[in-house]
Structure 1
């Protein structure tokens, strides 16, 4: 699994939550069709906005974050975003009560004798 962190540095105060929600919901029309994208978390802070993207594979992430992606984002937001890709081989899901390694459930380490 690949986690992508996109940061969009924006000047000024933190954007109002209602505006972020409205813009984010509108953008789901684009992102729900991105191949391999499992989840996208929309971010908002005093330093700007961004997103955390969960992709099935690095190839699918790179297909989305292609050479024209940063130009497209700059056209939308007026600033160039930064992108960092992370491998994420281990996931702790407290809601589901499980740990996964490369997508497969493993025994919970805290339950081992």
Structure 2
């Protein structure tokens, strides 16, 4: 599994309420997205940075999304180009699922 952290610096700080509004408007695009296991929307406390933390079943699935129109849509919505950091996720503990531990094969 792969985790990506996507961040973009905002031209103007965004309130938590405005961030939630924008995040809700884009959330349906991620439902049932091939290869995406989970997404967390994030906003820095000062409102100057926003983005997401994504858990993917493979790097190929993530790259298929990030190399498409996604970058253009994100840049238009937030006025900034996304910066993507990549991480291997060999083990995951999910306390919401009763403490389930998932290890990559």
Aligned pairs for 1:63-74 within 5 A:
63-66=64-67, 68-74=69-75
Residues 11 and 48 in structure 1, CA contact (< 8 A), matched pair in contact too: no
Q: Which residue of 2 aligns with 1:50?
A: 51
Residue segments in structure 2 that go unaligned for 5+ positions in a row: none
Q: What's the Cα RMSD here?
A: 1.9
Moved beyond 6 Å, runs of 4+:
none
The alignment covers a number of residue pairs equal to 102
Q: In the alignment, which residue of structure 2 is the partner of 1:8?
A: 8
Name the counterpart of 1:110: none
Larger gyration radius, structure 1 or structure 2: 1
By how many angstroms is 1:32 displaced? 1.3
Shift of 1:82: 0.2
> After alignment, is 30-39 or 52-61 more displaced?
30-39
- Secondary structure of the structure 2 residue equivalent to 1:62: helix
TM-score by length of 1: 0.77
Residue of structure 2 equivalent to 1:35? 34
For residue 28 of structure 1, report the CA deviation from its aligned partner.
1.2
SS in structure 2 at match of 1:53 = strand
Relative contact order higher in (CA < 8 Å, ≥ 6 apart):
2
* Distance (whole Å) between structure 2 residues aligned to residue 67 and residue 99 of structure 1: 32
2:82 corresponds to 1:84: no
In the other structure, the counterpart of 1:21 is: 20
